[in-house]
């Protein structure tokens, strides 16, 4: 088994419950971690035995473009999209952070982490 991750993916998106968040947007940081058997890739040195980072990024990016109220919802959609694309993934963890969330205090980032296992 191996863990493959993309960390610190930066997006500008329009997620939030407040109207101004939906209009002005915000910066978000996404980390994705998947666990899967890569023994085929270890032996063959072929991409077909693992997952393609570029495809992984594109799946995340597509879900980040869909406006949502809650990061929980976006995180769950990302998990489901990735699991639907690669059946060999056994576990996935998606963390989305909203930079400078509007909470009335100084806060660098709020974050939600969602996991799924098969």
Give the catalytic positions in this structure.
98
Answer yes or no: are the C-beta atoms of 16 and 27 closer than 8 Å.
no
Tokens coding 17: 């419950």
DSSP notation for the chain: -EEEEEEEEEEEE---SSHHHHHH-EEEEEEEEEEE--HHHHHH--GGGS--HHHHHHHHHHHHTS--S-HHHHHHHHHHHHHHH-TTEEEEEEEEEEES-SSSS--SEEEEEEEEE-
């Amino acid at each position: 088994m191996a863990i493959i991750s993309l960390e610190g993916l930066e997006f500008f998106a329009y997620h939030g419950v407040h109207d101004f968040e939906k209009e002005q947007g915000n910066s978000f940081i996404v980390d994705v971690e998947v666990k899967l058997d890569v023994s085929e890739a270890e032996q063959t040195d072929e991409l077909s035995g693992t997952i393609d980072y570029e495809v992984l990024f594109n799946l995340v990016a597509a879900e980040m473009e869909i406006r949502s109220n809650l990061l929980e919802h976006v995180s769950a959609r990302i998990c489901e999209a990735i699991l639907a694309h690669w059946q060999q993934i056994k576990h996935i963890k998606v963390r989305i952070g909203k930079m400078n969330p509007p909470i009335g205090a100084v806060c660098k980032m709020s974050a939600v982490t969602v996991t799924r296992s098969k």
